[in-house]
Amino acid sequence: MSNIPNWKGLVLPHILSLQAYSSARDEFSGDAKVFLDANENPFDEEQQNWNRYPDPLQKKIKNQLAKIKGIPSENMFLGNGSDEAIDLLFRIFCKAGESNVITCPPTYGMYKVSSSIHNVENIEVALSEDFQLEINSILKNANEQSKMLFICSPNNPTGNSLRKDDIQKLLESFKGIVVIDEAYIDFSAQNSWIHELSKYPNLVVLQTLSKAWGLASARLGIAFANQELIAILNKVKPPYNISGPSQRLVSTSLKNIEAFEQQINTILSERDKLYQKLQDIPGVKRVFPTDSNFILVQLNDARAVYQKLIAKGIVVRDRSNVKLCNNCLRVTVGTESQNESLILALYEIVEKV
């Protein structure tokens, strides 16, 4: 069990007492003959309801996700990408110039950017050489002002999952909110932490439809948390944060679970092939184990290889300036032919670098 006696004590007082904006669609959401309540344009040229504001609480998508994830919709917040949820968590828990958060680099860059935006100190406790959490160091570095701890599992850019026991210890000992970012969970052999929400009131799990669901363009991130925190997130968000076209696109895609599962299976088998082939290339120093849809690869001169790949029309991510990722490129698993193009290009380039 979490030893946080009262997670609500971490919420900034002005947020706790905030009176949420009440939108027209909050005040009336049923069917009616004539809508004259939201100052919308009455002409619906395409007969698609584009002239109408969307559902502020995205009930249809949440009900679909509740069935897929096995989690009540009351435990879900939907954001304009997970990045919106990250931003709102800072607004809810962190006081500018006073609070701090803990992150564990190398990791997803938005936690640090968001802390800078909110003028919140970002205490970095690096992962170990094998890319696992240094739990003693995290707890030693935490202080009374440490409001959130960001854990990314599977981790970006390293690709590996973080040990369950370590995360559990942190959930039980860290005296703030523990945010577990599971953007890549659908590619992972590990179970999601969403099933532990009732055990840990200080737990927030982030997921996204931008990766396995193939909906990066729709911008839809999910935060799973206890119902009271979800209500606070809903109070702080902009009223219509998920656009109508996005809601419709997402709702249609969520009906096609078969395609989703098929794509994941294909990506995973392509990942295994790519992993093997990368290891065979002379000049590739190390291919790191992955639980995600990308692979971290260490070379002799990552920057030079990156530039030469670009010249051949292939774009990967240069992570060589990132802590513990010296001379590393991060490669997303593509289609079979995209992966083959990469491998061919690497054979041509790497031997010469």
Ligand X SMILES: Cc1ncc(COP(=O)(O)O)c(C=O)c1O
Among 58, 161, 188, 210, binds ligand X (CB under 6 A): 210
Report d(CA 353, CA 331) in Å as an integer. Answer: 18
Sole residue written with tokens 């083959």: 340
Among 64, 82, 160, 327, binds ligand X (CB under 6 A): 82
Among 58, 156, 158, 320, binds ligand X (CB under 6 A): 156
Q: Among 14-22, 76-84, 164-172, 186-194, which window interacts with ligand X (CB under 6 A)? A: 76-84
Q: By C-alpha distance, which of 119, 181, 186 is closest to 150?
A: 181
CB of 99 to ligand X, least distance (A): 21
The verdict on 61 binding ligand X (CB under 6 A) reads no
CB of 199 to ligand X, least distance (A): 23
Buried b (16+ CB within 10 A) or exposed e, 36-62: eeeeeeeeeeeeeeeebbbbbbbeebb
Q: Are 149 and 115 in contact (CB under 8 A)?
A: no
The verdict on 152 binding ligand X (CB under 6 A) reads yes
Q: Among 38-46, 77-85, 223-231, 303-311, which window interacts with ligand X (CB under 6 A)? A: 77-85
Q: Among 25-33, 36-44, 80-88, 304-312, which window interacts with ligand X (CB under 6 A)? A: 80-88
The secondary structure element, H or E, covering residue 103 is strand 100-103
What residues are paired with 297 via a beta bridge? 287, 329
Q: Among 79-87, 160-168, 233-241, 336-344, which window interacts with ligand X (CB under 6 A)? A: 79-87
The verdict on 158 binding ligand X (CB under 6 A) reads no
Among 81, 105, 176, 201, binds ligand X (CB under 6 A): 81
Among 99, 188, 221, 328, binds ligand X (CB under 6 A): 221
Report d(CA 101, CA 113) in Å as an integer. Answer: 12
The secondary structure element, H or E, covering residue 229 is helix 227-236
108/200 with CB nearer ligand X = 108
Report d(CA 103, CA 3) in Å as an integer. Answer: 20
The verdict on 247 binding ligand X (CB under 6 A) reads no
- How many Cα neighbours within 13 Å face the side chain of 206? 32
Provide the binding-site residues for ligand X, judged by CB under 6 A. Answer: 81-83, 108, 152, 156, 181, 183, 208, 210, 216, 221
